[in-house]
Structure 1
Amino acid sequence: MLLHMFYFFFFIPCVLFVVLPQPLVVDGLREIRTKQPHFDESPTYLWPLPAEFTSGDEVFTVDPSLELVVDGAGGASDIVREAFERYRKIIFEHSGSDYVAGRFRFKRVLRESIISEYDVSQLKITVHSDNEELQFGVDESYTLLVSAGEVTIEANTVYGALRGIETFSQLCSFDYATKTVQIHKAPWVIHDQPRFAYRGLMLDTARHYLPVGVIKQIIDSMSYAKFNVLHWHIVDKESFPLEVPSYPNLWNGSYSKSERYTVEDAYEIVNFAKMRGINVMAEVDVPGHSESWGVGYPDLWPSPTCKEPLDVSKDFTFDVISGILTGLRQIFPFELFHLGGDEVDTKCWSQTPHVQQWLQDNNLTPTDAYGYFVVKAQEIALSENWSPVNWQEAFQAFPYNLSPQTIVHNWVGPGLCPYAVAEGYRCIFSNQKVWYLDHVNVTWDEVYTAEPLEGIYDPSQQKLVIGGEVCMWGEHVDTSDIQQTIWPRAAAAAERLWSPRESTLKANIATTTLPRLLNFRCLLNRRGVAAAPVKNLQARQAPDSAGSCYDQ
């Protein structure tokens, strides 16, 4: 009896109402004081917002022995089955294995909360195609129906099914009073698809090495926000951590022998990402940002005292690039490959006698040689059936020399994509003023209100903007703080890239969007992601006092 009374008085949860007294910075110019969001412990704050949805006013309970039923040509895919098991652990996070299996270790204590019948006992997933190829533009649409007795997800591909499972998991919440998983505002009808085909997050592992396990954690967190491309900026001036079997001395340019990625590591990252519907786009930046290459092969430097850009005058330089790309093609199946091409300072070429002679012999200026290098690197990538991606400087310097398949990656500021698509090139939006996550003074609402199609009004040109990407440059982050620097601001871009523009522009940021983002940040925390508070002046700033996860 005493034990029963102890549980009654100390384990009945309280309804939590939070106050958000801090100001919200809008457009980085003015501050407004937000109204108090209402968190009633029966939340349905979906992130990113689905394309179309309706809901009811019922509460359904979910059977801890939730059964997976598959149908269609691709329903039995391992991708679907493994996702179901991953999300089962997330949904039933407060239940031990005995509870999930339908058995109750503490039956005598919890007799009052045992439910004999649950409203939802099955998750039925129908996938129409058995094609599991994950390429650019893969169909990620899905329909999610929640009704008493069953939840159904219907998708054309396994990757649409993954997005539906994520949405289903966000509908589920644990009720501490009854110790059951519940779905509020049921029944649900959701028809969803992404706004853009390319929704990326860039990781820089050259400025600070990130262990494979950390990269996997970030990939997991990306899937929660429905990102679908990990742009892996593998090498740079400071380090070359990747194994290249055809040129084994290249990774002599790593920071240390323990800060390297083997071929097997790269395979593991790509396959891990695929199981979550995320492509990995590798980047090998040429001809600049390349000093680390010469640690293993000094002939790649113009001279021992002038170490970048790579030596444009030597066939050996392009032999190495070809060897790298040929090897990486066996690892990275995604059709896009990033060749960099940014911030190229050609002084080394002008100041090195043998390169200067080569320029004269070929009647080239240093700027001409820059264009020659980029185009030749593109030809190597094209020969490996890759579509080349280049930072915007290549387009700005020689727009008519690039391959028609080139994707221009905007980063310097706004207004570049309109020019690129007007010339018929595809474009990725990553305006550094709003979508560079290392700029920790940029607030979430500035990220959220950025628009990839700004200044583009022709529908045919709008289609050439394939999407956007937030960039996590690594000079000032490492394993210790990368997650809280990425999240939750990256989620603001994720919704901009997934959800219909009309629905998110109509929303009032302070009263509608903010509560959902606060909830998503707390969801990330519950799933083990070290996402920082939404409302702070610096991206990595911790709470300054005691309070709820929502009271930031």
Structure 2
Amino acid sequence: MFTFLFALCFISAANFAAGAQAPIIPQPMQFDMGQTTLTLASNFVFNSSSKSSTLVNAFERYKSLIFSHTSSPTGTMLGSLSVTVDSADENLGLDTDESYMLKIETSPASAELHAANVYGALHGLETFSQLVMYNFTADAYQISNAPWNINDKPRFPYRGLMIDTSRHFEPIRAVKQVLDAMAYAKLNVLHWHVVDSQSFPLQSVKYPKLWDGAYTGQERFTIDDAKDVVEYARQRGIWVLVEFDMPGHAASWCVGYPEICPAPDCTQPLNPATNATFDLIEGLLQEMTGVFPNQYIHLGGDEVNTNCWTKTPSVAAWMKSQNFTTDQAYMYFIERAHKIAHDVGRIPINWEEVFNHFGTQLDKESIIHVWLNHATAAKIVAAGYRCILSNSDVWYLDHLTVTWEKFYDNDPFQGISDPNQQKLMLGGEVCMWGETVDPSDIDQTIWPRAAAAAERLWSPQDVTDHDQFLQRLLAFRCLLNRRGIKAAPANNTQARSAPHGPGSCYKQ
């Protein structure tokens, strides 16, 4: 059986070479390769003059990921990968240079990885790990198609995956496993939709009764849990964007603080008629700046049904006194929430409806997150706003009948040809809404389809061949399985379905 699996892997490697593609997801920006098989020494090491603990930890991780078997290689061997980084700066965000260069020579055998900073080096380590394969027959780790010369960087600075821990609670272990897999696909933003109408699982020390909105006393995150997730993500080149959706999707806030909601029997949108609402928002966001250190915060703003405002006498009277329509009250709320975000040093991100309602009335620093209609993205950047794409027809992972091909074909630049407007398109993310996922099925619902979007967001725009990508997707799914990620078969017509019968991982 081992010989059979080995043969499949190396048949695939030959196909990659013949098709002028690398056996890597996402496909690198530029690469050259040869025809030599290079053997790694049994005492292979990563080395660097950098003292970064982030890099040292990554060396330990990748040594464990790559070398799961003992080996007894013979002949001329590659003994190390030498890693250099130009900068010790470990700040992580939209402006981070994630580029790297990987050079693997055969005569003499040598390997060098050079990056602008540690985060580019992390991506280079992942690429290197995907080139290494264990040859069961030779009892050796090998790299096919050497020498390699890879010059790589992402096409977009924002390459995200959203998880929703309100509709179903996801324990920290499950969140970390999502982060592991994201790093393997070179995604760099975890959008954490941490609370919603159904539950408020995140602790606030300043407003401790918000926790009363959790499903149970066991389905909660402490502040230290959240900080742990942020650091775990950073160690893998991922920054965490937290979302507090408001004024809609906030009924769980009312459990502990009913005064910020219109009425006991009509709880959302949050009450715009009382300063208590905005005092709580300000205190919460200020507290969270010490937990989520990046400069952005997602404030939601979607699906705001204002019926509770018109039905609640006190809110209706306030709108009348302000001479507000419900839409104007909605805008008043968004503007105040934005001011609070700016006051605590954060740039607000909102879902598409906020732009659809208010357009250029929004402050220009705002970032708009498209989910309803891909075509809106072109209008957003034409109006001078930055944009993130997650159009729900093809980048919502809870839509189980959407195949990897549709994920792969969804290009953020569709309808945007002006280079200046293209600069405003930050990238995009796939969204794992939580109504039908919990720890039992989240991995196989996300993967491997998310890898198709990951390549679209990283690789050059002209890397679009379905047949070539499928070869790599099949191999990547098997790689995920080997690393403990429960990725479903790649060719499912219904995502997260089990294999149809006996067979190789590389054929499913």
User: Which category of TM-score, normalised to the shorter sequence, fits these structures?
Assistant: over 0.9
The AA in structure 2 aligned to 1:542 is A
Task: Tell me the residue number matched to 1:517.
Answer: 473
Task: Tell me the residue number matched to 2:158.
Answer: 198
Task: Tell me the residue number matched to 1:106.
Answer: none
Cα pair 1:127 1:155 within 8 Å, conserved: yes
The AA in structure 2 aligned to 1:401 is Q
The AA in structure 2 aligned to 1:225 is A
Task: Tell me the residue number matched to 1:39.
Answer: 12
Pairs aligned (count): 501
Structure 1 stretches of 4+ with a deviation exceeding 4 A read 10-18, 40-44
User: CA shift at 1:38, angstroms?
Assistant: 5.0
Query: How many Å separate the matches in 1 of 2:473 and 2:46?
Result: 30
Query: How many Å separate the matches in 2 of 1:42 and 1:88?
Result: 27
Counterpart check, 1:499 vs 2:459: yes
Identity %: 48
Cα pair 1:389 1:406 within 8 Å, conserved: yes
Task: Tell me the residue number matched to 1:534.
Answer: 490
Structure with larger Rg: 1
Change (3 A) 1:433 1:42: closer
User: CA shift at 1:16, angstroms?
Assistant: 4.2
Cα pair 1:411 1:431 within 8 Å, conserved: yes
The TM-score normalised by the length of structure 1 is 0.89
Query: How many Å separate the matches in 2 of 1:162 and 1:513?
Result: 23
Query: How many Å separate the matches in 2 of 1:14 and 1:350?
Result: 65
Q: Which residue, 92, 102, 109 being the options, matches 1:144?
A: 102
Task: Tell me the residue number matched to 1:27.
Answer: none
Cα pair 1:63 1:119 within 8 Å, conserved: yes
Q: Which residue, 411, 418, 422 being the options, matches 1:458?
A: 418
Task: Tell me the residue number matched to 1:30.
Answer: none
The AA in structure 2 aligned to 1:348 is C
Query: How many Å separate the matches in 2 of 1:124 and 1:263?
Result: 38
Matched position secondary structure for 2:181: helix
Counterpart check, 1:250 vs 2:206: no
Query: How many Å separate the matches in 1 of 2:456 and 2:23?
Result: 16
Aligned positions of 1:63-78 closer than 5 A = 63-71=41-49, 75-78=50-53
The AA in structure 2 aligned to 1:87 is Y
Counterpart check, 1:182 vs 2:160: no
Query: How many Å separate the matches in 1 of 2:170 and 2:206?
Result: 24
Cα pair 1:62 1:119 within 8 Å, conserved: yes
Counterpart check, 1:94 vs 2:72: no
Counterpart check, 1:58 vs 2:18: no
Q: Write the deviation string for residues 186-225 of structure 1: whole angstroms up to 9, x where unpaired.
A: 0100000000000000000000000001100110000000
Query: How many Å separate the matches in 1 of 2:385 and 2:218?
Result: 41
Matched position secondary structure for 1:452: coil
Query: How many Å separate the matches in 1 of 2:283 and 2:438?
Result: 30
Query: How many Å separate the matches in 2 of 1:12 and 1:355?
Result: 72
Q: Write the deviation string for residues 479-502 of structure 1: whole angstroms up to 9, x where unpaired.
A: 000000000000000000000002
Aligned positions of 1:60-459 closer than 5 A = 60-71=38-49, 75-95=50-70, 114-148=72-106, 149-459=109-419
User: CA shift at 1:118, angstroms?
Assistant: 4.5
User: CA shift at 1:41, angstroms?
Assistant: 8.7
User: CA shift at 1:178, angstroms?
Assistant: 1.5
The AA in structure 2 aligned to 1:520 is F
Matched position secondary structure for 2:240: strand
Task: Tell me the residue number matched to 2:19.
Answer: none
Query: How many Å separate the matches in 2 of 1:13 and 1:369?
Result: 66
User: CA shift at 1:39, angstroms?
Assistant: 3.1
Cα pair 2:104 2:112 within 8 Å, conserved: yes
User: CA shift at 1:307, angstroms?
Assistant: 0.7
The TM-score normalised by the length of structure 2 is 0.96
The AA in structure 2 aligned to 1:129 is S
Cα pair 2:155 2:459 within 8 Å, conserved: yes
The AA in structure 2 aligned to 1:339 is L
Change (3 A) 1:86 1:409: same
Cα pair 2:6 2:135 within 8 Å, conserved: no
The AA in structure 2 aligned to 1:147 is E
CA RMSD in angstroms comes to 1.6
Q: Write the deviation string for residues 400-454 of structure 1: whole angstroms up to 9, x where unpaired.
A: 3212110000001220110001110000010100000000010000100011111
Cα pair 1:140 1:163 within 8 Å, conserved: yes
Q: Which moved more, 1:381-390 or 1:235-244?
A: 381-390
Query: How many Å separate the matches in 2 of 1:451 and 1:548?
Result: 32
Query: How many Å separate the matches in 2 of 1:376 and 1:14?
Result: 60
The AA in structure 1 aligned to 2:12 is F
